[in-house]
Structure 1
Amino acid sequence: MNFIPTKLKGCFVLEPKIIFDERGYFMESFNEKTFQENTNQEVHFVQDNQSYSTKGVLRGLHYQTGEHAQAKLVRVLSGEVLDVAVDIRPDSETFGQHVSIMLSAENQKQFFVPRGFAHGFLVLSETATFFYKCDNFYNKESEGGIIYNDPSLNIDWQFQESELIISEKDKVQPTIDNAKKAW
């Protein structure tokens, strides 16, 4: 597996080595030892989550705060999404910056989003099944969020705003300047 660092320290794109033959393919999607050696981060995943969404669904930007902060390793099992991570670490030189990556069942890429980042995705295909590993358990009281269209973030979601399908909760999230602090 190739581990490709992004402009945001700690975020990595993971490209698997896929072995094809007449039966189909095989790939190793996760190996804790290889992951820790290549990211230089000790992460132990404790919870797997999966969602199914239709074209235009935007989920995010979400995070957990304090002792309940979560690192995530995300991937798409079917379909295609635009995946986004925003650095919300207060002392980071890239605070408020984001990185976007296309994840699909076809490219089999994964995206590692460490603690201290807000995360969201937009479904680009007719449907998508999104899968993610978390290194901490969900805690409702520690939820944080940032509005998807915060002008200071300037995220290009690659859709017209009128085409987006967004939950009521996500429509009223604060800007990054007014959001709950990560820690």
Structure 2
Amino acid sequence: MKVTETAIPGVLIFTPRVFSDSRGAFCETYNERVMKEAGLPAVWPQDNFSISTKNVVRGLHYQVTQPQGKLVRAVYGAVLDVAVDLRRSSPTFGAHVAVELSESNGAMLWIPPGFGHGFAVLTEKAGFAYKVTDYYSPAGERTLLWNDPKVGIQWPVSERDAVVSEKDQQGRTLDEAEVFA
């Protein structure tokens, strides 16, 4: 498995070797030794899975209590996955990383605690899986506005065509958001 550092230190891309033949394909989606060497935790108390259709934008979500690190991947279909640094003391505060995750590239993105996370669906349908480092905390859940111009994410869908939940439409801008120290 190849591990690649992104423009924001600590946000990593894991790209497994994919073995394909006439029957289909095989890849390793988790290797505790590789993950541990890269600084990821060995214990994942919760796994999540969502199914979304083209032009759905989910996020940008984070938890101020019980902050979660996330290891995310597209099981089928493709998404543009985004991590936004919400650590005020970080030199990359407000910056983001955007990576295409798909069933064909098998890539996974590690998003440490202290980041907002979201994705946009690029294909007709996408199945999205993620492991998290802590349990869901409804009281601590926050949403950064997905289209905040200050963050400047170049989403692959227009604001007019984006399918966004009411909750996500009510997200806070970076200037208004409760963020990490």
Q: TM-score range by the shorter chain?
A: over 0.9
- Residue 142 of structure 2 is matched in structure 1 by 144
Alpha-carbon distance in structure 2 between the residues aligned to 1:167 and 1:13: 27
SS at match of 2:156: coil
User: Structure 2 matches for 1:1-183, cutoff 5 A?
Assistant: 1-37=1-37, 39-66=38-65, 68-182=66-180
Alpha-carbon distance in structure 2 between the residues aligned to 1:60 and 1:43: 26
In the TM superposition, structure 1's runs of 4+ consecutive aligned residues that sit over 4 Å from their partners are none
Q: TM-score, normalised by structure 1?
A: 0.94
Instruction: Tell me if the contact between 1:82 and 1:103 (Cα under 8 Å) persists in the aligned partners.
Output: yes
- Decide whether aligned partners of structure 1 residues 44 and 26 sit closer, same or farther in structure 2, where only a CA change above 3 A counts: same
Superposed displacement of residue 45, structure 1: 1.2
The aligned amino acid for 1:129 is: G
- Decide whether aligned partners of structure 1 residues 86 and 50 sit closer, same or farther in structure 2, where only a CA change above 3 A counts: same
Alpha-carbon distance in structure 1 between the residues aligned to 2:156 and 2:30: 30
Superposed displacement of residue 181, structure 1: 2.2
Q: TM-score, normalised by structure 2?
A: 0.95
Structure 1 gap ranges (5+): none
Alpha-carbon distance in structure 2 between the residues aligned to 1:43 and 1:72: 12
Q: Percent identity?
A: 43
The aligned amino acid for 1:168 is: E
The aligned amino acid for 2:151 is: L
Superposed displacement of residue 145, structure 1: 1.2
Q: Deviations over 1:43-70 (max 9, x none)?
A: 521111000011111000000113x000
Superposed displacement of residue 5, structure 1: 0.4
Higher helix share: 1
Q: Deviations over 1:74-124 (max 9, x none)?
A: 000111111000000111000000010111111111111010000000001
Instruction: Tell me if the contact between 2:47 and 2:130 (Cα under 8 Å) persists in the aligned partners.
Output: yes
Superposed displacement of residue 158, structure 1: 1.8
